[in-house]
Amino acid sequence: MCGISGLILKDTKQNAVLDIHESLGLLQHRGQDSAGITTCGARGRFYQCKANGMVNEVFTQDRIEGLHGSMGIGHVRYPTAGTSSISEAQPFYVNSPYGIAFAHNGNLTNSVELENFLDLVAHRHINTNSDSELLLNMFAYNLEKNQKHRINEEDVFRAIKELYTQCVGGYACIAMIAGPVGAKGMTNGSGDEGLKGDYMFASESAVMEALGFDHFEPVLPGEAIIVTKTKVTRRKLIETPEWRPCIFEYVYFARPDSIIDDIPVSDARLEMGTKLAHTVRRLLGDKHDIDVVIPVPDTSRIIALQLSQVLNLPYREGFNKNRYVGRTFIMPGQENRRKSVRRKLNAMHYEFNNKNVLIVDDSIVRGTTSSEIIQMARDAGAKKVYFASAAPAIRFQNVYGIDMPSRKELVAYNRTEDEISTILGADKVIYQTLDDLVDCCKKFNPSIKCFEASVFDGNYVTGGVSKKYLNTLESQRSDSTLHSQTVSPVASGISNIFEDS
């Protein structure tokens, strides 16, 4: 789940880069592997800066000042498909046709077929292992078939509609097209739209609010929006069978101050706390021996606070967090995650010593973080450690852009809750039920009948996800495989990319 943003300013004399840079900082929680910005200036010239690292590491003052133009797109990367190589930092760019910069969030499930098509039929060169580059080249191929010197909105909509039928998976994209004689447009398949003369697109609504956009709304599945210098056009290009947002957004990925698909993330997490409290009471009884509720910062704080109020238990901050260490879940490599837990969190002994504690986290994935946290609580003197997850047990691979590629790396795979408790070192592990989690989100938008919850139930909504594909994905993207990949150092400088068709 990467973070993407795009901005087009009404005043063409202004530079968009400052707001795009700020938007990436606001989306940093969605990806810490690399960051990039491409802007578009006079005569359709593209200016680009991208590198491995955090937003504040990649974009120095000099680099920001070199990114000109009143429109641009940005990306923070969290690697799933591909590697952590600098060559896979986004936005991507192709110079034919017209010049296209492209930022993508998600994952494709038919990447092998697409790569073969691009090689054997389209004759377009693919330079990385990233499925984002496949999407970009398929889009470029669809546009190129027109063989037109000038393209219009209908050409772009037609190319996007074809893309939906060609590329299978879960994805959202922003493209910036530099056409002949300076005609430019931007298309978006994800995020929200701000309406005040300037237009912005981003993975989460919190970005728009922070940058002063007072009107925004979700872009629906199968919908595309084209923004030119003179107008905005939005169109539903395909009829999707169901609107099924990713439920893991509300559990973990999204900022609490965001509204995603008309669901306030903070309110959904409050409901998770209420539902989880009822599950704790059902499993441990009204006469449980819990002394205190302690959250794992930061995502689970809202959930733990609500749970403590429902159970009428004290809520305490038992872990001090070093805010200069990134989110451990999206760090590549099991050993990196393990080491980072101790560097990121420190248990406060007086909150644990001689107490039975209920630790609340948003989810349990590989179990690396959870087992370290439980051991820290015991080292701090806890008598008993119960561990509650606001999400159900994660037992299946994710194929739509979340780094859960290998079943064998999931602590809940083929295990009972008692077995998981033993592995993690907890006195008991308590999971939210899937029905309760769905209810927590549906409460705020009843029009959503189902959610994408394949990591919990193994139901892949796009279809065509075979056992062979899952096994291939597992072999390519397991921690052991990714650990062996070469990671390029941080690159520097700004590249000028221009199209003079």
Nearest to 383 by CA among 298, 291, 280, 482: 291
Known binding residue 299? Answer is yes
Place of tokens 């912005």: 200
CA dist., res. 247 & res. 279, Å (int): 19
Token pair of 432, please? 């939210």
Mapping DSSP to helix (H, G, I), strand (E, B) and coil, where does residue 405 land? coil
Nearest to 49 by CA among 57, 9, 100, 207: 57
CB 444 within 8 A of CB 380: no
CB 49 within 8 A of CB 154: no
Q: What is the side-by-side strand order in the sheet with 223-227?
A: 92-94, 100-108, 169-178, 184-188, 223-227, 232-236
Token pair of 98, please? 């017209």
The residue count of the chain comes to 501
279 exposed, middle or buried (CB, 10 Å; 0-12, 13-18, 19+)?
middle
CA dist., res. 110 & res. 186, Å (int): 26
Token pair of 317, please? 């901050």
CA dist., res. 407 & res. 397, Å (int): 6
CB 74 within 8 A of CB 8: no
Nearest to 261 by CA among 301, 216, 230: 216
Known binding residue 362? Answer is yes
Residues 6+ apart with CB under 8 A from 236: 220, 222, 223
Mapping DSSP to helix (H, G, I), strand (E, B) and coil, where does residue 65 land? helix
CA dist., res. 416 & res. 423, Å (int): 11
Kindly report whether the peptide bond that precedes residue 241 is cis, defined as omega within 30 degrees of 0: no
CB 437 within 8 A of CB 392: yes
Q: How far is CA 209 from the centre of its chain?
A: 19
CA dist., res. 493 & res. 102, Å (int): 19
Token pair of 175, please? 């493209």
CB 234 within 8 A of CB 225: yes
Known catalytic membership, residue 167: no
Place of tokens 């038992």: 318
Binding residues: 299, 361-362
Kindly list the catalytic residues: 2
Binding residues for Mg(2+): 299, 361-362
